[in-house]
Amino acid sequence: MKLDRHGRFIGRRLRNDRFFWFILAALAISLAWWFLDSNNSGSWRGAGHKTGHVGPEDLTEISGIVLSRRNPGIIWTHNDSGGGPRIFALQIDGSPAGVFSLDNAVAIDWEDIAIGPGPSDQTDYLYLADSGNNNLSRNTITIYRVPEPLLENRNPSSRRTLTTVEALTFRFPEAPQECETLLVDPLTSDIYLVSRNRRSIGQETALVFRAAGPHQRGVTRTLELVASFSTPASIKGGDISRDGSLVLLRAHSPQRPGSALLWRRGTDKAPLHNVFREAPRDFPVRGEPQGEAIAFSPDSNFCFTIGEGLKAPIYRYKVPPMDTNR
């Protein structure tokens, strides 16, 4: 408003006041954003249903997640580099359910966690990939394997040490690679690592390395380069469905919306990595800060994502149907 020479306000019609309409539009946008986010109806950053927020205050650099097989409704997760050799049990709403240290393990740069078969039949194992290699200076990487623990209670202050930990060491066939994605084939026990290129801008090529199962500690094996594929952003995490029929990878970049890449495995007995010869199904996920972690629910009908940061939200997504003829 303006004042006349007598100090009185000079009225003007609000409908002709551009500043008023700018404020009104900004308010409407803010209300719409709040409504969508609070009602889990999606946002400009992607879809998904928010199930809760990560509870533990020392869990701020989540790099990988996997859904428990022995403990319904539990998410296993871990921090990135500097977090110590620990895994955290979270409930779907993010509340803590215990912390487990891995005996005789180190955490140089843990990048992903997977679940799959191991030496003992009828036992599910957790696999932790200490495969971060930002400077490409590590000649060997380590994958830790331990039987999935049973939560006798879901006490948030529970602390346990897992002692039956195996260290599996690997080297790359030529130059060192940075891999932030770990997959374990439930049908063959094959271990897969998917590379990212930190120096790439935009479209890049991901390399897929395999160590055929079974696996034995005490020896350093050379990984086999078995596939490559073009991706719109760096591959930062992934998972395989419990029955081995679906492969899920998370492509993340600060410059583009978040997305997941989904492949269906053929009905033949061909190796899992053959799926990367086909174009994936793309579906949006939240563009979370440093969004790396993604995993299937045990029934494969849903997937979950978590980003980094204090009290990071947990999102659940309906997995889109795939063409069964592919």
Same domain, 33 and 55: no
* Helix H or strand E encompassing 26: helix 18-38
Residue 176 lies in a domain: yes
Residue 26 lies in a domain: yes
Same domain, 112 and 24: no
**Which pTM was predicted?**
0.85
Same domain, 233 and 303: yes
Same domain, 8 and 119: no
Using alpha carbons, select from 287, 291, 239 the residue that is nearest to residue 75.
239
Classify strands 259-264 and 281-284 as parallel, antiparallel or unpaired. Answer: antiparallel
- CA angle, 187 then 193 then 197, to 5°: 150
Give the pLDDT confidence score for residue 287 in this predicted structure: 85
Give me the number of domains the chain comprises.
2
Same domain, 22 and 134: no
Give the pLDDT confidence score for residue 54 in this predicted structure: 98
Give the pLDDT confidence score for residue 254 in this predicted structure: 66
- CA angle, 130 then 132 then 137, to 5°: 115
Taking the C-alpha atoms of residue 33 and residue 39, their distance in angstroms, rounded to an integer, is 10
Give the pLDDT confidence score for residue 30 in this predicted structure: 38
Same domain, 30 and 137: no
- Tens of pLDDT, residue by residue, the chain (326 residues): 444 555 554 554 545 555 545 555 544 433 443 344 444 434 334 579 999 999 999 999 999 999 999 999 999 999 997 779 999 999 999 999 999 999 999 999 999 999 999 999 999 999 999 999 988 989 999 999 999 999 988 998 899 999 999 999 999 999 999 999 999 999 999 999 999 987 666 678 999 999 999 999 999 999 999 999 999 889 999 999 999 999 999 998 766 667 899 999 987 788 999 999 999 999 889 988 889 999 999 999 999 999 999 999 999 999 998 865 44
Same domain, 297 and 154: yes
Domain that holds residue 16: 1-39
Residue 326 lies in a domain: no
- CA angle, 114 then 264 then 298, to 5°: 40
Same domain, 185 and 250: yes
Same domain, 171 and 28: no
Same domain, 126 and 75: yes
Residue 325 lies in a domain: no
Residue 323 lies in a domain: no
Residue 298 lies in a domain: yes
Residue 324 lies in a domain: no
Give the pLDDT confidence score for residue 43 in this predicted structure: 39
Residue 44 lies in a domain: no
Give the number of other Cβ atoms within 10 Å of residue 126's Cβ.
26
Same domain, 113 and 64: yes
> Is residue 109 within 8 Å of 125, Cβ to Cβ?
no
The domain that holds 306 is classified in CATH as: 2.120.10.30
Same domain, 54 and 157: yes
> Is residue 209 within 8 Å of 195, Cβ to Cβ?
yes
